[in-house]
A and B are shown apart, each in its own frame.
Chain A
Amino acid sequence: MELTGAEIVIRCLQEERVEYVFGYPGGAVLFIYDELFKQEKVKHILVRHEQAAVHAADGYARSSDRVGVAIVTSGPGLTNAVTGIATAYMDSIPMVVISGQVPTFAIGEDAFQEVDAVGITRPCVKHNFLVKDVKDIASTIKKAFYLARTGRPGPVLVDIPKDVSNHKTAFEYPGSVSIRSYHPVGKGDSVQIGRAAQMLLEAKRPMVYSGGGVVLADASGQLTDLVRLLGFPCTNTLMGLGGYPANDKQYVGMPGMHGTYEANMAMQHCDVLLAVGARFDDRVIGNVEHFAQVPRKIIHIDIDPSSIAKRVKVDLPIVGELKMVLDELLGVLRGSRQTPDAADMAAWWKQVDEWRAKGGQRFYKKSSEIIKPQFVIEKLYEVTGGDAFVTSDVGQHQMWAAQYYRFNKPRRWINSGGLGTMGFGLPAAMGVQLVNPDATVACVTGEGSIQMNIQELSTCKQFHLPIKVLTLNNRYLGMVRQWQEFFHGNRYSESYMDALPDFVKLAEAYGHIGMRIDKPSDVEPALKEAFARKNDLVFMDFRTDPTENVFPMIPGGKGLSEVILAEDL
């Protein structure tokens, strides 16, 4: 029996056991939406803006081990999706985006709602396809899922012209896929792994630097075993939070621009640095030349060879799937008669603990008059028992959430680390809640970010998503204001958020519960009340201290030891 292209698209999604797709209909995807309508296996979540569809698919993927799926129409549907796709690309999130395209005979004629989808997305996808023949749909979608989830994951776009989705052909979903020009890596080089083990055992001031790759590879068990076996200090990057449990004594906090003093000093002064699934991002190591001033051996394990030696020189590269490499490394270490030198380790820990005492990340001036944003996150951690999925937008609130919510499990912290996309938090939380229906989901945001995708409160209402939105409302684009205070002579150019809506009424207008919290003493009761409402979305408008800044801070272009601490000012 022959099926239409649109039927084949839906059958492929069923074959991939896709439970939810996030999307928005339009002319070029009408046939696909018609087929969605006729079945029940693949459930569609109608967002209010295509950017949100992609962020929701992204949150869905980040908080599970599945591939997120979004469907958008041609032209503006696709261009609206681009920010979401770029967000997923920067953070290596497995995702398939299906976009409609104008009919093949109209391509290139500046047809209504035509845009070169493959051309526009090329720099921000792992790969993309324009399907010109209905016979190619099944094999292309199979490839798209395979590419999205294997190797270094990433978003893959499949662009399907309207006429192709209406042509007919026999359907057979390929059982397997092989692409002659694509060979994701598996195990690492055993000789290199053996050398790495030796280097680690002989280190005097070792440090483990674990990134988002550990979370994506579901390798946090192996990473945790390794760090505990060796007794080394460990830092998780912004993307890697939860990869190693934050409550563990060997955890030294997050590194980088707003990382802890101890994590940054240990990164700077270690003699052997083990980087796992991390990429020496500019927000992590700051100034490359400053970082290179201190001699240290770097072991870098990553699935993507191009991440190695991109920004810093690496002494011992290991390319491979993290779980396999860490398992093998653990095997070598457990089989070795040697252990790290106890005296060296004691001296190193003494130093790290001195930094820890000086740096006190959890330092801010408590107040009984005005709500400190850090205090809200501390209370959020307590009220949720540290067990919530926390999404965030971008800015000061993101950094405070990363610093003050202690993530003990991977895939619990969902943020746009690479692209830094405001408007990510709420739609991402929708995806998180759908794939974790019984979980507590909190979206920590600011009054600036939330307004970039606030229309999704409507989607949350329609699909009964009981997300708890915590808006740290300081009436400023806080991170912009902070930089203007430090580096632009207190000239607060366009960073004051004037004419804010009444968020309580706005939440109520969307059919949700709104709360405004002005006093520190009301923070905990409000959170308790909100989280007790298991079936409701509660929008909390916390009026926070507008002058609060994120510390510690390493100014852009500075080195890891050139940090400004709160108490320095």
Chain B
Amino acid sequence: MRHIISLLMENEAGALSRVAGLFSARGYNIESLAVAPTEDPTLSRMTIVTSGSDAVIEQINKQLNKLVDVAAVMDLSEGEHLERELMLVKVRAEGDAREELKHLADIFHGRVIDVSDCTYTIELTDTCANLDSFLEAIGRGLILETVRTGASGIGRGDRILKL
């Protein structure tokens, strides 16, 4: 099952590789991993999207907690949460397709942020699943380039991950 795990860790050189190394060493899946410093520059917040059986997910949480640099771990999937991913997609936009693509971007609440004679670059922020749907709607034939950040997640309401 898909899980989205958030963690706070020391913002130090090598911290990211400790997490990435743990996943590869123990054979866990990483679908995506997003990381950046928080309002406290000594801490980084990481969001990992992974999948596995309940036993594997339990081990992932425990192993992450065991890393000395990791200060707090929360499996967001265990409760109410929000997740968003940013995507930039460059599409071939010529002739009639230009209008159609603009319309499609509007439907998905995307924005065209760059235009050339024959391309659009569309920015879209949404759940991972909705980004997938958008790509599907465009069709692979028109897509020139896709850049995704991986999901970022946060708990709803008073579910807070903070030191």
Chain A residues at the B interface, C-beta cutoff of 8 Å? 118-119, 122-123, 126-127, 130, 147, 179-182, 304-306, 309-310
Contact = CB atoms under 8 A, between A and B. Distances in A.
B63 interface: yes
Contacts of A306: 59, 62-63, 65-66
A306 B18 CA distance: 17
A447 B69 CA distance: 43
The interface size bin for chain B is 20 to 34
Contact of B17 (A119, A182, A309, A310): A119
Nearest to B10: A181
Given A127-B69, A181-B72, A305-B66, 12 more contacts: A118-B14, A122-B18, A123-B25, A130-B13, A130-B14, A147-B68, A180-B163, A181-B9, A181-B10, A305-B65, A306-B65, A310-B59
Interface string B4-17: 00000110011001
A309 B66 CA distance: 15
B55 A309 contact: yes
27 contacts: A118-B14, A119-B14, A122-B18, A122-B21, A123-B25, A127-B68, A127-B69, A130-B13, A130-B14, A147-B68, A179-B68, A180-B71, A180-B163, A181-B9, A181-B10, A181-B69, A181-B70, A181-B71, A182-B68, A304-B66, A305-B65, A306-B59, A306-B62, A306-B65, A306-B66, A309-B55, A309-B58
A104 B24 CA distance: 29
B62 to A, nearest CB: 4
Name which of A182, A306, A310 has the most chain B CB atoms within 10 A of its CB. A306
Nearest to B18: A122
Nearest to B69: A181
A123 B25 CA distance: 7
Nearest to B15: A181
A127 B10 CA distance: 13
A305 B68 CA distance: 14
A305 B62 contact: yes
B12 to A, nearest CB: 9
Contacts, number: 39
Contacts of A180: 71, 163
Nearest to A124: B25
A179 B69 CA distance: 9
Contacts of A305: 62, 65-66
A304 to B, nearest CB: 7
Nearest to A156: B68
A481 B91 CA distance: 63
A303 to B, nearest CB: 11
Contacts of A179: 68
A127 B66 CA distance: 10
A542 to B, nearest CB: 40
Q: B14, B17, B69, B72: which has the most chain A beta carbons within 10 Å?
A: B14
Centre residue among B10, B66, B69, B163 by max chain A CB count within 10 A: B66
B6 to A, nearest CB: 15
B89 to A, nearest CB: 35
A304 B62 CA distance: 9
Given A118-B14, A309-B55, A126 B62 contact: no
Contacts of A119: 14, 17
Contacts of A304: 66
A310 B58 CA distance: 9
A126 B69 CA distance: 11
Contacts of B18: 122
A123, A147, A181, A309 — most chain B CB neighbours (10 Å)? A181
A118 B163 CA distance: 27
A512 B66 CA distance: 46
Interface in B18-33: 18, 21, 25
Contacts of A122: 14, 17-18, 21
Contacts of A181: 9-10, 68-72
Contacts of B66: 304-306
Contacts of A127: 68-69
Contacts of A182: 68
Nearest to A119: B17
Contacts of B55: 309
Contacts of B71: 180-181
Contacts of B59: 306, 309-310
A181 B67 CA distance: 9
A306 B59 CA distance: 6
